[in-house]
Amino acid sequence: MGSWSDFRRDRILVAGQWVSADNGGVLDVIDPATGESIGTVPNAGVAETGRAIEAASAAFETFSRTTAAERAKMLRDLSTAILDNQDALAELLTREQGKPLAEAKGEVGMSAAYILWFAEEARRVYGDTIPSPWGDRRIMVTKSPVGVVGAITPWNFPSSMLARKIGPALAAGCTVVAKPASQTPYSALAWGVLAEQVGIPAGVINILTGSAREIGGELTSNPLVRKITFTGSTGVGKLLLKQAAATVKKVSMELGGNAPFLIFDDADLDRAVAGAVAAKFRMPDRHASAQTDFMSRPGSTTASLKPSRTPPKSWSSAPGSSKVQLSARSSTMQPLPRLRNSSATPSGKARVVTGGKRHPKGDRFYEATVLADANATMNFAHDEIFGPIAPVFKFETEDEAVRLANDTEFGLAAYFYTQDPGRAFRVSERLQYGLVGINEGMITTEVAPFGGFKESGVGKEGSKYGLDDYLDVKYVCVGGLGL
- Using Cβ positions, the residue closest to ligand NAP within the complex turns out to be 216
- Which of 257, 307, 320, 441 is the binder for ligand NAP (CB under 6 A)? 257
- Which of 74, 146, 181, 188 is the binder for ligand NAP (CB under 6 A)? 181
Which DSSP letter does residue 136 get?
Answer: T
Looking only at residues 222 through 241 of this chain, which bind ligand NAP when binding is defined by CB under 6 A?
A: 231-233, 236, 239-240
**Which residue, 154 or 173, has its beta carbon nearer to ligand NAP?**
154
Under rule CB under 6 A, residue 216 binds ligand NAP:
yes
Under rule CB under 6 A, residue 254 binds ligand NAP:
yes
Under rule CB under 6 A, residue 152 binds ligand NAP:
yes
- Which of 163, 174, 374, 412 is the binder for ligand NAP (CB under 6 A)? 412
Which secondary structure element, helix H or strand E, spans residue 394, and what is its range? Answer: strand 389-394
**Which residue, 74 or 259, has its beta carbon nearer to ligand NAP?**
259
Under rule CB under 6 A, residue 178 binds ligand NAP:
no
Shortest distance, position 350 Cβ to ligand NAP, whole Å: 22
Within 84-174, strands assigned E span 128-130, 138-145, 148-152
Under rule CB under 6 A, residue 188 binds ligand NAP:
no
- Which of 32, 45, 154, 388 is the binder for ligand NAP (CB under 6 A)? 154
Q: Which stretch binds ligand NAP (CB under 6 A): 68-76, 133-141, 155-163, 330-338?
A: 155-163
Shortest distance, position 308 Cβ to ligand NAP, whole Å: 25
**Which residue, 96 or 398, has its beta carbon nearer to ligand NAP?**
96
- Which of 157, 186, 281, 417 is the binder for ligand NAP (CB under 6 A)? 157
- Which of 83, 212, 269, 376 is the binder for ligand NAP (CB under 6 A)? 212
Shortest distance, position 156 Cβ to ligand NAP, whole Å: 5
Which secondary structure element, helix H or strand E, spans residue 389, and what is its range? Answer: strand 389-394
Cα first-last separation, the chain: 62
Give the separation between CA 91 and CA 86, rounded to whole angstroms.
9
Shortest distance, position 229 Cβ to ligand NAP, whole Å: 11
Between the alpha carbon of residue 247 and those of residues 47, 58, 251, 340, 469, the distances in Å are: 19, 20, 11, 32, 17
Beta strand pairing status for 435-438 and 413-417?
A: parallel
Give the separation between CA 64 and CA 62, rounded to whole angstroms.
6
**Pick from 143, 247, 236, 206: nearest CA to 473:** 143
**Pick from 13, 9, 24: nearest CA to 49:** 13
Dihedrals phi, psi of 5, to nearest 5 degrees: -75, -20
- Which of 97, 156, 332, 354 is the binder for ligand NAP (CB under 6 A)? 156
- Contacts with 315 (C-beta within 8 Å, 6 or more apart), sequence order: 94, 100, 101, 102, 308, 309
Under rule CB under 6 A, residue 448 binds ligand NAP:
no
Give the separation between CA 159 and CA 163, rounded to whole angstroms.
7
Give the separation between CA 238 and CA 18, rounded to whole angstroms.
32
Under rule CB under 6 A, residue 452 binds ligand NAP:
yes
Give the separation between CA 294 and CA 193, rounded to whole angstroms.
47
- Which of 457, 459, 462, 466 is the binder for ligand NAP (CB under 6 A)? 457
Q: Which stretch binds ligand NAP (CB under 6 A): 140-148, 154-162, 200-208, 423-431?
A: 154-162
Give the separation between CA 448 and CA 378, rounded to whole angstroms.
33
**Which residue, 231 or 289, has its beta carbon nearer to ligand NAP?**
231
- Contacts with 366 (C-beta within 8 Å, 6 or more apart), sequence order: 320, 326, 329, 330, 355, 357, 358, 359, 387, 388
Judged by the rule CB under 6 A, the positions of this chain that interact with ligand NAP are 152-157, 161, 179-183, 212-213, 216, 231-233, 236, 239-240, 254-257, 384, 412, 452, 456-457
